């Protein structure tokens, strides 16, 4: 983390978990244990059908509501999809774009990720752009090139002004939901390289202001060490964000330094 130059953001990604009823219960439980958090922004990205419920329920534990996906077209015959304007109108602040599960199961490509990034930014929201390599890609030694390509493609035609609202989440696919976390050195190295890519594109001043998260089996045990790395400015947390105590422990771990 480097709070002098950029925001620390602890974000949950609930994926396809939690009903509206469970969302209210989670908020009640969080309310009982959550301190007034000043050291980071706390976000939870919830399934689209729970956004309105979360928007009300998360007011008191002071959790910012995010979405897990968006479609890039502004409106029209796209059955089942949601536009950025629809999400913004509900009060959504952050939208996850390009999660590896969407790339893997729903044919998301670097090009559609870029279109979604623009849609989110144009609607005044902040994209959390996910990048990450598979185990095979890591073992082939192409991690740095691949991540650089994902970052460059996602940010294609994004102005420096708008880049300030972008968050990058480095999520190695092999560490997601596997209980296998990247070592803090591995995570720090990739996050440093991501900042390097942004520096080459936008210059040092802009690059140092960008929040870069780590995601992939982040939990109360490993969070402090990961967050202590200079270029890791937060976490994108799946499993551990479903449990109030664990999520709180990670929020508190961001209070180090």
Of 215 and 244, the one with the shorter C-beta distance to ligand 13P is: 215
Q: Does 66 bind ligand 13P (CB under 6 A)?
A: no
136 as an active site residue: the answer is no
Residue 224 CB neighbours (<10 A): 17
CA dihedral 173, 43, 92, 147 (to 10 degrees): -30
210 near ligand 13P (CB under 6 A): no
Out of 99, 101, 108, 118, the active site residue is 99
Residue the block writes with tokens 């190695």 = 172
- Pick one of 126, 217, 222, 229: the residue that binds ligand 13P (CB under 6 A): 217
User: What span, in angstroms and rounded, lies between the C-alpha atoms of 128 and 73?
Assistant: 18
Applying CB under 6 A, the site for ligand 13P has a residue count of: 14
Is 57 or 250 the residue whose CB approaches ligand 13P more closely? 250
Residue 171 interacts with ligand 13P (CB under 6 A)?
yes
Q: Which of residues 224-243 bind ligand 13P (CB under 6 A)?
A: 236-240
- Which member of 41, 68, 108, 171 is catalytic? 171
Applying CB under 6 A, which of residues 74, 91, 177, 256 lies at the interface with ligand 13P?
177
99 flagged as catalytic: yes
The least distance separating ligand 13P from the CB of residue 249, rounded to whole angstroms, comes to 13
* Minimum separation from the CB atom of position 74 to ligand 13P (A): 26
Vertex 62, ends 56 and 63: CA angle to 5°? 80
Burial of 210 (C-beta count, 10 Å sphere; 0-12/13-18/19+): buried
Interface positions, 74-113, toward ligand 13P (CB under 6 A): 99
Q: Which single residue brings its beta carbon nearest to ligand 13P?
A: 238
Q: According to the binding rule CB under 6 A, does residue 150 interact with ligand 13P?
A: no
Please, is 235 exposed, middle or buried when counting C-beta atoms within 10 Å of its C-beta (0-12, 13-18, 19+)?
A: buried
Q: How far is the CB of 18 from ligand 13P (least distance, A)?
A: 13
Between 109 and 148, how does the x/- string for binding to ligand 13P read (CB under 6 A)?
Answer: ----------------------------------------
Residue 169, SS3?
Answer: strand
d(CA 13, CA 81): 19
Nearest Cα residue to 236 out of 83, 132, 164, 112? 132
Choose between 155 and 176: whose C-beta lies nearer to ligand 13P: 176
Helices (H), the chain: 20-33, 51-57, 84-90, 100-105, 110-122, 135-140, 143-154, 160-163, 184-202, 204-207, 223-227, 244-253
Spatial separation of the C-alpha atoms in residues 147 and 105, rounded to whole Å: 19
What is the set of active-site residues? 99, 171
Binding stretches for ligand 13P (CB under 6 A): 13, 99, 171, 176-177, 215-218, 236-240
């Amino acid at each position: 983390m480097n709070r002098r130059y950029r925001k620390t953001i602890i974000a949950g990604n609930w994926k396809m978990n939690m009903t509206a009823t469970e969302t209210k219960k989670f908020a009640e439980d969080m309310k009982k244990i959550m301190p007034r958090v000043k050291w980071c922004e706390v976000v939870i990205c919830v399934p689209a059908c729970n956004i309105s419920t979360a928007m009300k329920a998360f007011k008191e534990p002071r959790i910012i509501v995010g979405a897990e996906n968006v479609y890039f077209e502004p409106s029209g015959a796209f059955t089942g999809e949601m536009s950025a304007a629809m999400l913004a109108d509900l009060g959504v602040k952050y939208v996850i774009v390009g999660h590896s599960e969407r790339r893997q199961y729903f044919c998301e490509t670097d090009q559609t990720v870029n279109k979604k990034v623009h849609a989110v930014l144009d609607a005044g929201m902040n994209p959390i752009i996910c990048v990450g390599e598979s185990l095979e890609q890591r073992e082939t030694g192409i991690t740095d090139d691949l991540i650089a390509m994902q970052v460059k493609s996602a940010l294609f035609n994004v102005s420096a002004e708008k880049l300030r609202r972008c968050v990058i989440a480095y999520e190695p696919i092999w560490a997601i939901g596997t209980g296998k976390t990247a070592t803090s050195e591995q995570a720090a190295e990739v996050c440093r390289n991501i900042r390097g890519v942004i520096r080459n594109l936008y210059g040092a001043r802009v690059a140092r202001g960008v929040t870069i998260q780590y995601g992939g089996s982040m939990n109360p045990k490993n969070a402090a060490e990961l967050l202590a790395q200079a270029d890791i400015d937060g976490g994108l947390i799946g499993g551990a964000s479903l449990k109030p105590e664990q999520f709180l422990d990670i929020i508190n771990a961001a209070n180090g330094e």
